[in-house]
Structure 1
Amino acid sequence: MNKIKEGAVDIGLILESSPSDSTLKWQTIREEPLVLVASPDHPLSSLRKVELSHLNGFEWIMTEDSCNYRIMLEKVLRAKRVIYRIGLELGNPEAIKRCVMASSGISLLPQIVVEEEVRRGELAVLPFTHPDIRLDLQMVIHPKKWISHSLKEFIDMLK
């Protein structure tokens, strides 16, 4: 976002639940679904619907603590007094997926990150949703940025 403010970058695409800097121009492109994933043989994968209470006591493979969707998840878990254990904390989604496939841990990741493993049956998406755990793909532009013809076409294509 600093590069957008400085004019070094024309446009930013950021996963956020809401605009985090009011000095920039934000536009929601689409919701980017977050999914709870586990190995296909995980006990939660057999449930028709996973409630917050079902998550009590399970081990999590988490993103780093500054990740916006981890912050959302932990806020919801703490608010509902769901006990959770962090088995591993990793900064790389690929490493998180591999660990979830090889362990009894669960993780929250953007759907787009796990689509291939889910399609191949290596990961299972658990039937879980919560209104406070969601992200949008946001387009961010400096409000005084000159928009070239090609940049305008790119922006239109994103919309």
Structure 2
Amino acid sequence: MEIRNIRTFLRVAELQSFTKAAEQMGYSQAAVTVQIKQLEEELGTQLFDRIGKHIKLTEHGMQFMDHGMKVMKAAEDASTFVHKEETPAGKLRIGSIASLSMGVLPPVLLEFRTLCPQIETSIETSRLVTELLDMMRQNDVDFLYFLDRKIYSPDWIKVFERPETIIFVTYPSHPLADKEDVPIERLLEEPMILTTRGVSYCDDLEQLLAAQGLELHPFLEIGDTDVIIKLLQQKAGISFLPQYLVQEHLEAGNLAIITTDIPVIQMWSQLIYHKNKWVTPQMKIFIDLIKKYAGAEPH
């Protein structure tokens, strides 16, 4: 059973397309088809249903995903165990929520660069945790660093988690700035700038309001929290953001908090990796740095 065929299988499963997998891996579509056929013949089962132009994993295909990940991990272990340099070399691939990348990772990456100058680091961002989890399952990233409710799975190892408070925030001269126990109905009368729907803390806010028969009607939804902060500083309205993103501006007096009469919403920043992942020296260094800068609660 060739490692190449298993790697191709995992990429086709991820992209749900022979054509896209061929383009990304630098193969012809015919070569990808042959590799999958060889793997299916070796396993004695069909891994994909091919209906028209669409493909989908069969039940056996889904079961083989876990075995394929283990094989790729073993191959990675075998290719790296002899490289015991004092200075780590290779790559570090991080999947992260965009707001975490902006708020926490810059100082971590700066020190990581000093400690591991030979490491090529890449960051894949998404606003949806489900997309990040797919990246991890396909071994496209080494870590996931995300913000969500406390979640666990037997398929991954959680390195740490840290509570993150989500707050209403506005510009200092706003009539509601620094007010406490503001009725949520009053707050909803103000122009609201929110992150794009589907982000965990916005979903929780919508559910909390729905339970009271209320609805959110933001005048702007945007995935870039840096833009939201700049708009708030220009007196554009109110937003609902993780406090760590705006703490620096709060301390500088550029923004102000509004507390309301609804329960505080709390999320957790979490760092995980796949249970079958070999933890490289650079991954260990990155874990230590995240704990140092994020003040995380270890596991």
SS of 2:209's partner is helix
Deviation at 1:70, TM superposition (A): 1.2
What is the rounded CA distance, in whole Å, between the counterparts of 1:50 and 1:28 in structure 2?
Answer: 34
**Which structure 1 segments of 5+ residues have no match?**
none
In the alignment, what sits opposite 2:273? 141
Q: Indicate which of 14, 38, 54 corresponds to 2:146.
A: 14
- Residue pairs, 1:1-159, within 5 angstroms: 1-19=133-151, 23-103=155-235, 105-128=237-260, 130-131=263-264, 133-157=265-289, 158=291, 159=298
SS of 1:141's partner is strand
The answer to whether the Cα contact below 8 Å between 1:24 and 1:142 also exists between their aligned partners in 2 is yes
Could you say if the C-alpha distance between residues 149 and 98 of structure 1 is closer, same or farther in structure 2, counting changes exceeding 3 Å? closer
Structure 1 or 2: larger helix share? 2
In the superposition, the TM-score normalised over structure 2's length comes to: 0.47
Could you say if the C-alpha distance between residues 91 and 154 of structure 1 is closer, same or farther in structure 2, counting changes exceeding 3 Å? closer
Higher RCO structure (Cα 8 Å, ≥6 apart): 1
Q: Give the AA of the match of 2:146.
A: I
SS of 2:180's partner is coil
The answer to whether the Cα contact below 8 Å between 1:38 and 1:107 also exists between their aligned partners in 2 is yes
SS of 1:85's partner is coil
In the superposition, the TM-score normalised over structure 1's length comes to: 0.82
Deviation at 1:37, TM superposition (A): 0.1
Which deviations, in whole Å up to 9, do the C-alpha atoms of 1:111-148 show, x marking residues without a partner?
121122212222101234724x2110111210111223
Which deviations, in whole Å up to 9, do the C-alpha atoms of 1:33-78 show, x marking residues without a partner?
2121011122222523334344242321111112221111111122
Q: CA RMSD in A?
A: 2.4
**Which structure 2 segments of 5+ residues have no match?**
1-132, 292-297
Which deviations, in whole Å up to 9, do the C-alpha atoms of 1:4-31 show, x marking residues without a partner?
2122322111101132766333354211
Stretch deviating more after TM superposition (84-93 or 147-156): 147-156
Stretch deviating more after TM superposition (107-116 or 43-52): 43-52
The answer to whether the Cα contact below 8 Å between 1:39 and 1:101 also exists between their aligned partners in 2 is yes
The answer to whether the Cα contact below 8 Å between 2:206 and 2:216 also exists between their aligned partners in 1 is no
Could you say if the C-alpha distance between residues 27 and 98 of structure 1 is closer, same or farther in structure 2, counting changes exceeding 3 Å? same
SS of 2:246's partner is helix
The answer to whether the Cα contact below 8 Å between 1:58 and 1:84 also exists between their aligned partners in 2 is no
Q: Percent identity?
A: 27
- Runs (4 or more) in structure 1 with deviation over 4 Å come to none
